[in-house]
Structure 1
Amino acid sequence: MKSHQQQQHHHHHQKGATSLFPKWHVINTFSYFFLFACGVAAGVFLNSYLKNVSFDLHLTKFSISPSPSPPTTSATHNNTTAAAAVGGGCENRQEKIVVEVPVPVLPPPPPPAGRVGLSEYLKVAAEAMHDMEEEELLWRASMVAKVKEYPFPRVPKVAFLFLTKGPMLMAPMWELFFKGNQGLYSIYIHSSPSYVASPDESPLFRARRIPSQVVTWGKFNMVEAERRLLANALLDVANQRFVLLSEACIPLFNFSTVYDYLINSNQVYVEAYDTADARTRYHPDLMPEITLPDWRKGSQWFEIDRDLALEVVSDRRYFPKFQGFCRNKPCYADEHYLPTYFVIEHTGKMSNRSLTWVDWSAGGIHPNRYVRGEVTEEFLEKLRSGSGECLYNGKKTTTCFLFARKFLTTSLVRLLRYAPKVMHFNP
């Protein structure tokens, strides 16, 4: 039998335990609810944050860590801040929500379509236009490789340089000449910058006009225009022979004949004559680089090889003398510069004959010009082989002129009628 005192103590203990249980239950429930609220608040904040992150970025890590150390490449948000934003109460929790967002990884570049070898690298633009200044162009054109052998297959081309006032007057004739010979020639045209090519211009000459300056016929800058044409043509390493012609010139043979004749020649078409008339144009201001015995005269229309073209655009000894003297004096540099320069430096390379046939029989300061009625089959045959004999690679030949000049546009109709038969153009 328990004593009355022990029974009272036991009854009191049970009553206290019964009264404490609801209190602890309420406290635990409130704690869980509070923690749940904190979690919801953190989730809302995190969800709002992630919505502001670019979808292009790759989420690589999301963690809840008690560590206070900050991540290396991400934004760190303290949980206490998030809790404060929704009413506070989580200040004693030190967890940090760590979101690491690395720098986006770009895809690797696509592999090259094929090997870009030296021949592709050296190819020039399809159009002749560029934005190089004069000195930049001449410097670029004067570059030459010391190794003469080409490390890739190469078909040599003949560069046709046309110095014109405006349009290519004989374009239909030249179309017949070049037809079927793509890849064996290049075309460059220097015309007055005031000339605007017609939309109906022949496709053969479209986009072949180089950046030009004003050309005054018979004055010094004619030589500058010639050098500019040469410099542009030298940018194409395939060009091996360079022919300077005017818009009044026509071919006397088909392309194959002209091409073979020039590519296989060991001399160039530059004429240089020492005449009394030429000496009257000499001036002592040209000394000491150019003396009277060196002074020569010749046609401005020429044909030279690549080595000599490089020498012309690189000349810093004789050209400046003409440049300084001939601008304001009637020395006609276009008739004297190349003949004089070649006599001094490259005599052995000159054939000393003209590239173009022309008729001076009427006298005067200009040769005869040809119109429609003068063009016949017999006349064209005479131009081709009726000029006597000359030397080619040390042997006699009757093919003395490859081109003829001073043909007016009125002669074009008959030229188109007879030239294909006489000159054996490709059909």
Structure 2
Amino acid sequence: MQSMVVQLEEGKDNGISVRTEQYKSFRPQLLLVLGLFLAGVVTIFIISTNKYTGLQSVVTTVTSSFVPRREEEPDGLSKWIQPPGVLMHNMSDEELLWRASFWPRRKGYPFKRVPKIAFMFLTRGPLPLASLWERFLKGHKGLYSVYIHPHPSYTAKFPADSVFYQRQIPSQLAQWGRMNMCEAERRLLANALLDISNEWFVLVSESCIPLFNFTTIYTYLSQSKHSFMDAFDDNGPFGRGRYNENMEPEVPIAKWRKGSQWFEVDRDLAVTIVKDTLYYPKFREFCRPACYSDEHYFPTMLTIEKPMALANRSVTWVDWSRGGSHPATFGGSDITENFFQKIFDGIHCTYNGRNTSMCYLFARKFAPSALEPLLHISPKILGF
């Protein structure tokens, strides 16, 4: 037992002796470790400082990378005032009409704006009179825009130097006398409104022609105090006789109007048309053949909303003298000086409160066979 204690004590003494020796030998090592640790701290501090400086450089570099964009859009208005580069888009009608209804409430423009005429072609397909329109528009770039709404199965193909090149908008079926005809017209207006420079909006068809040169028509529209929407009160069976009492109270019979679908409106009325959600549902539900919405929707709605803005006449001439539900169509044999003289003479209307004989700026309906005679006679008769 004593031996075991001695052994334990010897072991204890020996252990103390070993630790002491190890401690003595560890002191230089400890100093070395501390020195290395301090050197490491200094190194980390230097690296951290360099990293921070580098981060500042990176941030500065990233910030600098945005400068060119700001230089491209110095006033921040470019995305609002630049017309769409491509007319084809994937917006639904609801999205398009919502977007097109944006309207500055402040008068004037904080940039140089040259107002343009938007020519909106509502067509079944090809434009057989395109060559005549090309001649009419030649030399007036920047004063007009072109939009084409054809049958959805048709794709317009024009050369790159044509005024009609890539001017087709996303379209849907438009049927004569149906509400989808008005929807097509609103679709044209909405797409044209996306160009802030468009001020006057003219609805034409593939069978329409201009009756004067571009400068004359531009001056006529730009100086007019009114928009040209045909809107009259017809007490007969084809006027008030088409009215449905279910349209009240939004559409009272006293405001029920009829007119030609071929119109010209300014930007204010165009926005009024595309933003409408009050009258449109009434017409869609209660104006169906034999109520033809394309003859009643716009004339009635604008008579209620903006009656003083309307000239209550169209600037597109048509001939109903042959009777029937459609106006006369004119072919190549009809295109004579005498024919146009009948259009220009003997007509009187009001323009800015004064009587005038210059009432029509466009005419229809012209067949494809009329193109060559029209190109031949237009310099002398039409002025272009």
TM-score, structure 1 normalization: 0.73
Report the CA distance between 1:71 and its aligned residue. Answer: 3.7
Change (3 A) 1:166 1:183: same
Q: Counterpart in 2 of 1:117?
A: 75
1:150 is aligned to 2:109? yes
1:309 is aligned to 2:267? no
1:296 is aligned to 2:254? no
1:389 is aligned to 2:321? no
The structure 2 residue matched to 1:365, chosen from 305, 320, 325, is 325
Q: Counterpart in 2 of 1:256?
A: 215
Describe the superposition over 1:122-177 as per-residue Cα deviations: whole angstroms up to 9, x where unpaired: 20223322222212211111111121111112111111111111112210010011
**Secondary structure of the corresponding residue to residue 280 of structure 1:** helix
- CA distance in structure 2 between the aligned counterparts of 1:73 and 1:305, rounded to whole angstroms: 69
Tell me, yes or no, if the aligned pair for 1:119 and 1:152 is still in contact at 8 Å: no
Describe the superposition over 1:314-367 as per-residue Cα deviations: whole angstroms up to 9, x where unpaired: 1121112112223x5432110000111122222222211122111111111111
Letter in 2 for 1:248: S
Tell me, yes or no, if the aligned pair for 1:387 and 1:400 is still in contact at 8 Å: no
- CA distance in structure 2 between the aligned counterparts of 1:391 and 1:124, rounded to whole angstroms: 34
1:192 is aligned to 2:151? yes
Report the CA distance between 1:218 and its aligned residue. Answer: 2.1
Change (3 A) 1:68 1:139: same
**Secondary structure of the corresponding residue to residue 105 of structure 2:** coil
Q: Counterpart in 1 of 2:30?
A: none
Deviation larger for 188-197 or 256-265: 188-197
Letter in 2 for 1:359: D
The structure 2 residue matched to 1:403, chosen from 339, 362, 379, is 362
**Secondary structure of the corresponding residue to residue 367 of structure 1:** coil
Change (3 A) 1:152 1:66: closer
Tell me, yes or no, if the aligned pair for 1:279 and 1:292 is still in contact at 8 Å: yes
Q: Counterpart in 1 of 2:229?
A: 270
Letter in 2 for 1:352: N
- CA distance in structure 2 between the aligned counterparts of 1:103 and 1:350, rounded to whole angstroms: 64
Of structures 1 and 2, the one scoring higher in RCO (CA 8 A, sep 6+) is: 2
Tell me, yes or no, if the aligned pair for 1:250 and 1:403 is still in contact at 8 Å: yes
- CA distance in structure 1 between the aligned counterparts of 2:239 and 2:301, rounded to whole angstroms: 14
Q: Counterpart in 2 of 1:7?
A: none
- CA distance in structure 1 between the aligned counterparts of 2:104 and 2:84, rounded to whole angstroms: 21
Q: Counterpart in 2 of 1:412?
A: 371
Q: Counterpart in 2 of 1:345?
A: 305
**Secondary structure of the corresponding residue to residue 222 of structure 1:** helix
Change (3 A) 1:160 1:104: same
Letter in 2 for 1:247: E
Report the CA distance between 1:103 and its aligned residue. Answer: 7.0
Describe the superposition over 1:13-46 as per-residue Cα deviations: whole angstroms up to 9, x where unpaired: xxxxxxxxxxxxxxxxxxxxxxxxxxxxxxxxxx
- CA distance in structure 2 between the aligned counterparts of 1:181 and 1:263, rounded to whole angstroms: 15
Change (3 A) 1:234 1:103: same
- CA distance in structure 2 between the aligned counterparts of 1:181 and 1:203, rounded to whole angstroms: 13
- CA distance in structure 2 between the aligned counterparts of 1:279 and 1:114, rounded to whole angstroms: 56
Letter in 2 for 1:220: M
Change (3 A) 1:379 1:73: farther
Which ranges in structure 2 are unaligned for 5 or more consecutive residues? 1-35
Change (3 A) 1:199 1:170: closer
Change (3 A) 1:199 1:233: closer
Q: Counterpart in 1 of 2:186?
A: 227
- Please identify the structure whose Cα radius of gyration is greater: 1
- CA distance in structure 2 between the aligned counterparts of 1:166 and 1:280, rounded to whole angstroms: 34
Letter in 1 for 2:164: F
What is the CA RMSD across the aligned residues, in angstroms?
A: 2.5
1:354 is aligned to 2:314? yes
Deviation larger for 123-132 or 247-256: 123-132
Q: Counterpart in 2 of 1:241?
A: 200
Letter in 2 for 1:264: Q
Letter in 2 for 1:311: T
- CA distance in structure 2 between the aligned counterparts of 1:348 and 1:388, rounded to whole angstroms: 23
What is the percent sequence identity of the aligned residues? 47
Which ranges in structure 1 are unaligned for 5 or more consecutive residues? 1-63, 75-98
Mapping of residues 30-109 of structure 1, within 5 Å: 67=39, 69=41, 71=44, 106=58, 107=61, 108-109=64-65
- CA distance in structure 1 between the aligned counterparts of 2:296 and 2:76, rounded to whole angstroms: 39
The structure 2 residue matched to 1:133, chosen from 62, 75, 92, is 92
Describe the superposition over 1:54-92 as per-residue Cα deviations: whole angstroms up to 9, x where unpaired: xxxxxxxxxx87645584798xxxxxxxxxxxxxxxxxx
**How many residues are aligned here?**
337
Q: Counterpart in 2 of 1:82?
A: none
- CA distance in structure 1 between the aligned counterparts of 2:216 and 2:158, rounded to whole angstroms: 32
Change (3 A) 1:227 1:72: farther
TM-score, structure 2 normalization: 0.81
Report the CA distance between 1:274 and its aligned residue. Answer: 2.0
